[in-house]
């Protein structure tokens, strides 16, 4: 009869490989509002959770943006700004993903993600 021992390692509740910056650019002809949408932000890969996960993108600082899907691990951001003739404006803000382990109630945060949008008029 053989003897086997099982070894279990407790994984820490961690998040890795989150996006640290996203950007978007949009141009219009004539003065007016320009809406710019960023490329996709990935909150990170989560390991060591005990239950299901809940996600919430949170504002940290800087210029605010609209979060397209605030409760998903991946999202895009958008901003609408007015530009005058021959004007180019860039706005920056910082967001981060809050992840909750619904099994334990533990919370972790993804890295800060700089959201940069450029709004331009091209007369």
Q: What is the pLDDT of residues 14-23, one digit of tens each?
A: 899 999 999 9
What is the second-level CATH architecture of the domain 15-121?
A: Sandwich (2.60)
Residues 6+ apart with CB under 8 A from 1: none
Closest CA to 78 of 120, 36, 121, 19: 36
Looking at residue 123, what is its pLDDT? 82
Query: Over the chain, what is the mean pLDDT?
Result: 91
Q: DSSP E strands: which ranges in the chain?
A: 14-16, 21-28, 32-37, 41-42, 45-47, 53-62, 66-67, 74-75, 77-83, 88-101, 107-109, 113-121
pLDDT for 107 beyond 90: yes
* Rounded Cα gap, residues 122 and 7, in angstroms: 64
Q: What is the DSSP letter of 42?
A: E
Residue 7 has pLDDT above 80, yes or no: no
Over 50: is that where the pLDDT of 9 sits?
no
Residue 4: per-residue pLDDT = 55
**Of the candidates 32, 15, 37, which has an alpha carbon nearest to the alpha carbon of residue 83?**
32
Residue the block writes with tokens 């996960």:
53
pLDDT for the residue 110:
94
0.85 cut: is pTM over it?
yes
The mean-pLDDT minimum among 5-9, 90-94, 98-102 falls in: 5-9
Are the C-beta atoms of 42 and 74 separated by less than 8 Å?
yes
- Reported as a single tens digit per residue, the pLDDT across 49-90 is 999 999 999 999 999 999 999 999 999 999 999 999 999 999
């Amino acid at each position: 009869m053989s003897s086997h021992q099982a070894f279990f390692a407790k994984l820490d509740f961690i998040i890795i490989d989150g996006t640290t910056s996203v950007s978007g650019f949009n141009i219009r002809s004539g003065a007016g509002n320009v809406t710019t949408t960023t490329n996709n932000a990935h909150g990170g890969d989560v390991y060591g959770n005990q239950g299901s996960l809940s996600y919430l993108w949170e504002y940290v600082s800087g210029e605010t943006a609209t979060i397209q899907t605030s409760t998903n691990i991946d999202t895009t951001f958008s901003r609408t700004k007015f530009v005058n003739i021959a004007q180019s404006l860039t706005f920056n803000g910082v967001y981060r993903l809050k992840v909750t382990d619904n099994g334990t109630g533990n919370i972790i945060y993804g890295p800060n993600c700089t959201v940069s949008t450029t709004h331009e008029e091209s007369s």
